[in-house]
Amino acid sequence: MIGSLAELQNSLLPTSGLFVHPASWFILGAALLPLATRLHLHKVVLLGVPLLVLLQIQHLPETFGGGNYLGFELLFGRADRLAFLFMHMFALMAIIGCFYSLHVKQTGQHVAAFLYMAGAFGAILAGDYLSLFMFWELMAVASVFLVWYRRQPASVAAGLRYLMVHVTGGLILLAGIFFHYQQVHDLQFARILTDQAGFAEYLILIGFALNAAIPPLHAWMPDAYPEATVTGAVFMSAFTSKTAVYALARGFPGFEILAVVGAIMAVFGVCYVVVENDARRVLAYHIISQVGYMVCGIGIGTALAINAAVAHAYTNVIYKGLLFMGVGSVLQMTGRSKLTELGGLYRHMPMALIFTVIGGISISGFPLTSGFVSKTMVVAAAGESHRIGLMLLLLAAAVGTFLSVGIKLPYCIWYRRESGIEAQDPPWNMQAGMAIAAFLCIFIGIHPDWLYRMLPFPADFVPYTGPRLSETLQILGFTGLGFYLLVKKLKPEDVINLDTDWVYRKGTALFMRLARGPVNLVNDIVGNLYKTVGLRCTMATARACSLFDRQGIDGVVDGSARGVVSQGDRVRRHITGRLQHYIGASLIALFVVLALVLWL
């Protein structure tokens, strides 16, 4: 186990005097995009901002943006090696995603994507829980518009459910932060030790777990991602769950529950993938499975396991983005995403086929691809910590991954049968985005040290050894043979698969029925009572108050005023303005006073 996260936090990058927060550039870009669109400069902004951020993060100071606000010590920037790796992969994905979305004419969609990225970068750099929560919620609010901008009834409904779930998760996180501060009087976002974790800390863990789509808090992902826009799903596949992985790696390494849940999560995702029909739901469930590897590594908590978890997060962002871009290209050009409606597209969309296959073999962990150099590290970390059960579950998940995404997905879309759909490869910018991601998948697979040098702990892991290559090739080979023998049994079916989103879907429907029925009836009864009884009482009270005002208050005040005015008139009649009269009156008054004094 890691004794402390101090080693991680103290291994800081070289610094300089540059301290502009990377999130600021995305916020500025979002503000400038409407004007840039009118001036036909939006493409410059879309590509220039993430490129600028990629350059800037190389020179961030150790800490920046600190200060005191309302008695709270805040730190908006903490650029250690863990934060740098996540910022680097997010900046790369921002460039790739913006290339892919250059053709999109909806400025609002670009604005939402930029604000979403700003939230992700802000959360990664946050050194305290308050600033983390602020950027965490910015991500939730901005990303929901990437679902709504598809402008379909199903997208609107899915977006509402997505927002409802994430607002709930945000409230749980905020409650945990509040109770944690009540206990320690410190908002610093640092590692929480397992023996010091209480109710508050587990609330924070649940808030992070929801964004990581850990079952049973996962259903929002396959519900919302397939309903997002083509480009929006690419961004969403990269930022929300990986930001949660970062938060878990920062705050909860070594938690045993994460190791167990992560391994189960890896298998759980592929079980749904095998029976899913919608291509983007297949990929959404695969995010759950792949994040399971990362959560398992974080739960194991050794230096190798943490390195493996964040390395897998890095490679997953790229190959998962590539898969969403490939399937999104099919949706863009054909208007369809169900596997039962597709087939025979290899003649019409050959470039999309090539790029999607590269993403498929990468996620399957083929040698010479990025997935191999990170996935084998996670399995090795489980083996070195003598967690044989976890290791077997992760290997079983690898079988399901290759079966469903490496073989079944491209086979059903491009080869299974001739669907009669006329299509062509997507626009050049979409192909450019896929080409960059595909290049990185191969480059990292051939040069793993390029990735390993960015890991938070020193990495001497060697992925290309005889036993690891033999193990991987046997798994892939037997899985391919199994698909060949069972291909007819594995054909997709147009069915609806129940998941835990059934709970809040039915709960929402029940609430609406209650709102339309008993609640509405009670509201009508209360309204009628108010009209018949309450309103009359109110009017009677108002009339009584008016009468009291007129007869009581006004009578007293006005009567007193009239008395004062009357006495003033009497006095005024005795005022002549002649001095001799005043002297004579004064003498008479003096004599009267003296007489009274002498008499008494």
Of 121, 106, 134, 129, nearest in space to 46 by CA = 106
pLDDT > 80? residue 293: yes
pLDDT for res 11: 39
pLDDT > 50? residue 307: yes
Q: Which residues contact 61 (CB under 8 A, 6 or more apart)?
A: 15, 16, 17, 18, 19, 77, 79
The mean predicted confidence, pLDDT, of the chain is 86
Per-residue pLDDT band for 506 (boundaries 50, 70, 90) equals confident
Comparing 590 with 287, the larger pLDDT belongs to: 287
Element containing residue 335 per DSSP (H, E):
none
pLDDT > 70? residue 25: yes
pLDDT > 60? residue 277: yes
Residues 81-118 as b or e (16 or more Cβ within 10 Å = b): bbbbbbbbbbbbbbbbbbbbbbebeebebbbbbbbbbb
pLDDT for res 350: 93
- Whole-angstrom distance, CA of residue 584 vs CA of residue 596: 19
Comparing 338 with 9, the larger pLDDT belongs to: 338
Q: What end-to-end distance do the CA atoms of the chain give, in Å?
A: 108
Of 88, 89, 93, 98, nearest in space to 33 by CA = 98
Per-residue pLDDT band for 100 (boundaries 50, 70, 90) equals very high
For strand 72-78 and strand 63-69, is the pairing parallel, antiparallel, or unpaired?
antiparallel
pLDDT for res 572: 59
Task: Give tens-digit pLDDT for 52-93.
Answer: 999 999 988 888 887 877 777 888 889 899 999 999 999 999
| Single pTM value for the model | 0.83
Q: Which residues contact 411 (CB under 8 A, 6 or more apart)?
A: 487
Query: Are 26 and 271 within 8 A, CB to CB?
Result: no
Task: Give tens-digit pLDDT for 533-545.
Answer: 766 777 777 777 7
pLDDT > 50? residue 5: no
- The CA distances from residue 475 to 41, 319, 378, 446, in Å, are 49, 20, 16, 21
Amino acid sitting at position 196 = Q
pLDDT for res 287: 94
pLDDT > 80? residue 130: yes
Query: Are 194 and 4 within 8 A, CB to CB?
Result: no
Which range has the worst mean pLDDT, 13-17, 232-236, 280-284, 410-414?
13-17
pLDDT > 50? residue 14: no
Comparing 517 with 399, the larger pLDDT belongs to: 399
Q: What is the mean pLDDT of residues 332-354?
A: 90
Per-residue pLDDT band for 7 (boundaries 50, 70, 90) equals very low
pLDDT > 60? residue 8: no
- Whole-angstrom distance, CA of residue 117 vs CA of residue 27: 9
Instruction: Return the DSSP state at 77.
Output: E
Over the Cα atoms of the chain, what is R_g?
35
pLDDT for res 317: 96
pLDDT > 70? residue 304: yes
Element containing residue 303 per DSSP (H, E):
helix 303-334
Q: What is the mean pLDDT of residues 482-499?
A: 79
Per-residue pLDDT band for 113 (boundaries 50, 70, 90) equals very high
- Whole-angstrom distance, CA of residue 103 vs CA of residue 101: 5
Task: Give tens-digit pLDDT for 173-204.
Answer: 999 999 999 998 889 999 999 888 899 999 99
| Percent of all residues in the chain with a pLDDT value above 70, rounded to a whole number | 85
pLDDT for res 122: 95
pLDDT for res 3: 43
pLDDT > 80? residue 581: no
Q: What is the mean pLDDT of residues 162-179?
A: 94
User: 382: helix, coil or strand?
Assistant: helix
Residue ranges covered by each domain of the chain: 6-507
Q: What is the mean pLDDT of residues 547-556?
A: 62
Residue 68 bridge partners (DSSP): 73
Task: Give tens-digit pLDDT for 418-477.
Answer: 777 888 999 999 999 999 999 999 999 999 999 999 999 998 899 999 999 999 999 999
